[in-house]
Every structure is written in structure tokens, then in C-alpha cells.
Amino acid sequence: MQVVRSTDHRLHFPTGELNGGQLVRPFECPERWDYVMATLADHGFTDLVDPDQSPTGEAALDATLAQIHSADYLEFLTGAWSAWTALGRTSDMIPTFFPARQGADVPGRPDHIDGQLGWYGFTCDTAITEGTWSAARAAAALALTAQRLVSSGQSSAFALCRPPGHHAGGGYFGGYCFLNNAGVAAQGFLNDGADRVAIVDVDFHHGNGTQDIFYGRDDVLFVSLHGDPVTEFPYFHGYATETGSGPGDGFNANYPLAAGTSFDEWSAALADGLAKVAAFGADALVVSLGVDTFADDPISSFTLGSDDFTAYGEMLGAAGLPTVYCMEGGYAVEQIGVNAVNVLEGHLSAS
């Protein structure tokens, strides 16, 4: 399995995030990447690929991003830091003002950067820094490069994306995510001739951004296993009743699971989701690979052990589909490499 990676991820690392009313060191940190890379090397994953940053690759990335994110949102991301520093500010950008969703409709996007941060951002845990746009763009390029490798004949590829992407919607950021990497890979498959693509999100937190992007479409099936939004971030989406809208009705499947969920319960949900993928007739599979379902993860509440990641990798590999893995969450940092690589090895043993 080829691994697509880039050190450009280091351009993004905020000094802090708001968690539990305190400014703390971000759980989403650069050493997550380091641990995964070290474990990949230890297990013989040495076929490393750079993201395609040629003029052709950059043009393809721009075109794909424009298909899944709104033009005004992309414009905001590209210019946010300049607008911030034009006011003499040098600190990280953290949204602190938000529209009241239950009130009257907001007439439109504010002109001031403080208002725009709340317009496009939905959490206070996700700061923008000077290098955020470059890092996020590089992560999306990893996903598109991995997809191109698979569309060109590889059976699978792993995009070691950082920052992650599944909380980034068509026009918003949050949950450490700015561009939807899995969405980029899925749209890339469609652009390269696939008729139907499935996205399976195994991160502990619901992939609200991915759901948002594809909710009204019938060419992408979205399946998400996650903590019940009654008690878990991102709280407002991820219910089993959310099944899609319009042409997308029936092509969105959520599996909200209670705190303390065991692997037996979790894997039964995955088996059901993969049965939906098979019935859908997907030509390709994108996996949002969050390993924060691990029992010792500091901001999650499932009970999977490291061997369980190998087992469900086998389930994913047994689906027999051309597959791209995009790295998402996982905040038990010293174990993130073992758990992520176990999934990849499980996939390879079964595929």
C-alpha cells in the first residue's frame, strides 16, 4: 500500500484550543503524524509518495475543491490570515461570535473578520494560523493524489492527512478540520469515471461535514459510526433519522452508539454499514480513518483495543473495493501509529 504524506502539515499548529472553558494545548498536534510515520516504517510501509503539486495537480485540486466547498468559503480561507493581521493582530484566529440559529435569519455574512470567523466556524477548538491554509490545502492534495493512485490501478492507498477533514462542510470549518479530505477523494473518483462512491467514517465523532456535502446526492453513500450526538461532539448531527434529502434520500446512514460501546457492538454496526455499501454497488471506497475509538483516547468513550483495529481493517479489506484511507482523528498520541497501521495491515491481509 502506497502512503501519501507531506511535512507541510507542520505549517498548522495553533498555540491552544478552548476545551472545558480553558485554553489548552490542542489535542490535534503534529506529533500525531510523527507516530504514524514511525510505525509505518517499522511495519514495512516504505513506498512513500509526495502529493501532486505540479501545475496540473494544483489545477485538479482547485477544480475538485470547488465541487465540494462553496466559493465564498474557499475565498475566506485563502484570505483570512491577511484580513486578521491587517488589524495588527498576530495571535491565532479563534471564532468567538456566532449567529443565533434559533433566532431570525441572519441577513448575510458580516464584513468584519471577527464576524466572518463565526459565520464560517462552528467551534472554538479550531484556530486558524498563518500556515493553516497551506497545510489544509496540502492535506487535500494528499487525498486527491491517493485517489489518483487507486484510480490508476493501485488497489489501495493511505493519505496521511493533517489537518483532518471530516468536520469541514461545504461552507464551514471546525473540529480541527478546514477542507474535507475524504470528500475530495470521493469527488476525485467520480471525476475519474466512477458512478458511485461510498464513504465509511469510522472516527469516534460524526463526520458532520462529509454528511453536509453529500446529503442531497445519490452518487455518494455516506456511512458513519460514531458517538451518540445526544452526548458527544458535534452534538447537532449524526442521528439515525438523518438519511439524506431529495435525490440523496436513503444514501446517508448514521450509527450513533452509546458511551462504552464494545468492539462486538461496534463491529456489528460496521458490518451493517458495509452491507449497505455492497447493496449500493459502490465502485470505490473512501475510509475516514479516525482511530479515536481506542479505549484510552482522551476525548472519546468507546472501548476498542489495538487488536480490534486489525479486525475491522480486515472487514474493510474484505469489501473488495478500490480503497483510499484518509487520516482523521485519534488523540491517544503514543498509540495512534499502532492503531492506524493495524487497520491498514488488516485491510491488506483480507483484500
Q: Per the confidence metrics, is the pTM higher than 0.95?
A: yes
Catalytic residue chosen out of the listed positions 12, 167, 226, 347: 167
Cα gap 10→137, rounded to integer Å: 12
Those residues whose C-beta lies under 8 Å from the C-beta of residue 291, and which sit 6 or more positions away, are: 297, 309, 329, 330, 335, 336, 339, 340, 343
Average pLDDT value over all residues in the chain: 96
The pLDDT, as a whole number, for residue 98 is: 86
Residues in the chain where the model's pLDDT stays below 70: 101-104
Q: Where are the beta strands (DSSP E) in 20-177?
A: 22-24, 48-49, 156-159
3-state secondary structure of 115: helix
The pLDDT, as a whole number, for residue 177 is: 98
Domains and CATH numbers, the chain: 2-69+130-350 (3.40.800.20)
Closest CA to 73 of 107, 121, 114: 121
Give pairs for 42-48: CB < 8 Å, separation 24+: 43/341, 43/345, 45/1, 45/3, 45/158, 45/341, 45/344, 47/1, 47/2, 47/3, 48/2, 48/3, 48/4, 48/5
205 catalytic? Reply is no
**Any idea what DSSP says for residue 8?**
G
Q: Which three cell numbers stand for residue 174?
A: 471546525
Q: Which three cell numbers stand for residue 24?
A: 489548552
The pLDDT, as a whole number, for residue 102 is: 55
